[in-house]
């Protein structure tokens, strides 16, 4: 600590410096989830997470113990089971309709719409999907054509319609190819990838690197929803290449709710409106800057001009 004190006191280094305090890279994240899920299913007691979770009392940040098992069981039985998710469908569709009304008013007034993710992961996913589609006009056109061909004059994309929209689902998978996961903590000693991992070790699964690995993905830096057409890769925790909701015991309990919200929201945005850049901007002007956080939001709002689709 004396060395750190000297750095701050005399400004020996630049205003920013990096210190590696006992971390190492182990290229065996899949083994973490598949073979040692029980060992790595706890959460570390980090100050930021404690502040967000009432000292670790919520489902996401609670350490693995009897309390966590009980509240997860309650959530899965009473809140997030498939029947309960379906029961919330009218609320989701009402909120989407309200969003479409606001965008329609802006379109009539020729005002740009600012897409801001807020704090919720589903909203952030929709914003990133629209961002990527605006930078890839071919994918945008194909997604819109698929939705409009299916829905026709119906006027609104309902949740059951999304099951017949494979390209839309591929767009969402491609958007979610590089998420960030909450860190885990080992409950006991184990060996992972040849390393001795002590109990209480904080473990991060680098899903961003997995989503950009050329050994897994062809042209990983390109936005290509086609890679998921006729592919068996799913995002529900069974395929390690794509785990935006995590996997194993700590998989996101709200996954079904989140996917339903993203699908119906994005489908209606593509069905109802044609999207253009504001005057003076081009596709290449859309930035991909992100701001750090538990959910990766766009740093700058996505501003687009909506024109109501003439059916």
CATH code for the domain of 206: 1.10.630.10
Do the domain assignments include residue 284? no
Do the domain assignments include residue 21? no
- Higher model confidence: residue 47 or residue 246? 246
pLDDT band per the 50, 70, 90 thresholds, residue 23: low
pLDDT band per the 50, 70, 90 thresholds, residue 32: low
Average pLDDT over residues 32-58: 77
How many domains is the chain built from?
1
Beta bridge partners of 114: 303
pLDDT band per the 50, 70, 90 thresholds, residue 22: low
Do the domain assignments include residue 143? yes
Phi-psi region of 263 (alpha: psi -120 to 50; beta: other; left: phi over 0): alpha
Average pLDDT over residues 24-38: 61
How far CA 3 is from CA of 7, 10, 12, 183, 239, in Å, comes to 6, 11, 10, 29, 45
pLDDT band per the 50, 70, 90 thresholds, residue 43: confident
CA distance 222 to 185: 33
Question: Is residue 8 scored above 70 in pLDDT?
Answer: no
pLDDT band per the 50, 70, 90 thresholds, residue 1: very low
Given the DSSP bridges, would you call strands 297-298 and 202-203 parallel, antiparallel or unpaired? unpaired
Q: What is the pLDDT of residues 87-127, one digit of tens each?
A: 999 999 999 999 999 999 888 877 777 665 444 788 889 99
Question: Is residue 165 scored above 60 in pLDDT?
Answer: yes
Domain range enclosing 130: 27-110+126-272
Q: pLDDT at position 204, please?
A: 79
Structure tokens at 250: 């700590």
Average pLDDT over residues 134-162: 96
Q: pLDDT at position 138, please?
A: 95
Residue 217 and residue 228 in contact, taking contact as beta carbons nearer than 8 Å = no
Q: pLDDT at position 29, please?
A: 53
Average pLDDT over residues 133-160: 96
Residue 75, marked binder: no
How much of the chain, in percent, has pLDDT values that exceed 70?
85
Q: pLDDT at position 14, please?
A: 44
One DSSP character per residue, the chain reads -HHHHHHHHHT-S-S------S----S-HHHHHHTSTTTT-B----HHHHHHTTTTTSTTT--SSHHHHHHHHHIIIIISSHHHHHHTHHHHHHHHHHHHHHHHHHHHTT--EEE--TT-HHHHHHHHHHHHHHT-HHHHHHHHHHHHHHHTTS-S--GGGGGG-HHHHHHHHHHTTS-----EE-SS-EEETTEEE-TT-EE---HHHHHT-TTTSSSTTS--GGGGTT----SSSS-TT--TT--GGGS-TTHHHHHHHHHHHHHHHHHHEEEEPPTT--GGG----EE-SSS-EESS-EEEEEEE---
Do the domain assignments include residue 266? yes
Question: Is residue 25 scored above 70 in pLDDT?
Answer: no
Do the domain assignments include residue 242? yes
Do the domain assignments include residue 86? yes
Q: pLDDT at position 289, please?
A: 85
Question: Is residue 10 scored above 50 in pLDDT?
Answer: no
CA distance 133 to 126: 10
Q: pLDDT at position 127, please?
A: 92
Do the domain assignments include residue 87? yes
Residue 272 and residue 245 in contact, taking contact as beta carbons nearer than 8 Å = no
Q: pLDDT at position 3, please?
A: 43
Q: What is the pLDDT of residues 180-229, one digit of tens each?
A: 667 788 888 888 777 788 888 888 778 888 888 898 899 999 999 999 99
How much of the chain, in percent, has pLDDT values that exceed 90?
40
Do the domain assignments include residue 22? no
Residue 52 and residue 45 in contact, taking contact as beta carbons nearer than 8 Å = no
Mean pLDDT of all residues belonging to the chain: 83
Q: pLDDT at position 49, please?
A: 75
Residue 124: name the closest of 299, 297, 304 by CA. Answer: 297
Which range (25-39, 67-81, 175-189, 257-271) has the least confidence? 25-39
């Amino acid at each position: 600590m004396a060395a750190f004190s000297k750095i701050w006191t005399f400004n020996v280094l630049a205003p920013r410096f990096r210190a590696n305090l006992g971390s190492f890279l182990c290229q065996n994240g899949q083994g973490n989830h598949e073979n040692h899920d029980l060992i790595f299913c706890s959460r570390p007691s980090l100050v930021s997470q404690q502040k967000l979770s009432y000292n670790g009392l919520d489902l996401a940040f609670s350490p693995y113990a009897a309390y966590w098992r009980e509240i997860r069981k309650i959530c899965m039985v009473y809140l997030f089971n498939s029947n309960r998710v379906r029961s919330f469908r009218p609320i989701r569709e009402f909120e989407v309709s309200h969003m479409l009304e606001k965008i329609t008013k802006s379109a009539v007034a020729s005002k740009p719409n600012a897409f801001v993710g807020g704090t919720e992961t589903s909203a952030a996913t929709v914003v990133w999907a629209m961002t990527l589609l605006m930078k890839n006009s071919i994918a945008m056109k194909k997604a819109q054509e698929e939705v409009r061909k299916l829905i026709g004059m119906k006027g609104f994309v309902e949740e059951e319609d999304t099951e017949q929209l494979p390209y839309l689902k591929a767009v969402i998978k491609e958007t979610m190819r590089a998420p960030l996961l909450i860190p885990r903590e080992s409950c006991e000693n184990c060996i992972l990838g040849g390393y001795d991992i002590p109990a209480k070790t904080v473990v991060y699964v680098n899903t961003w690197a997995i989503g950009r690995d050329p050994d897994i993905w062809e042209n990983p830096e390109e936005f290509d929803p086609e890679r998921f057409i006729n592919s068996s890769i799913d995002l529900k925790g069974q395929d390690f290449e794509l785990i935006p909701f995590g996997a194993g015991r700590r998989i996101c309990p709200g996954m079904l709710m989140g996917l339903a919200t993203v699908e119906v929201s994005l489908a209606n945005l593509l069905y109802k409106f044609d999207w253009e850049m504001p005057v003076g901007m081009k596709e290449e002007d859309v930035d991909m800057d992100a701001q750090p956080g538990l959910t990766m939001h766009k740093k700058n709002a996505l501003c687009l001009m909506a024109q109501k689709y003439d059916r």
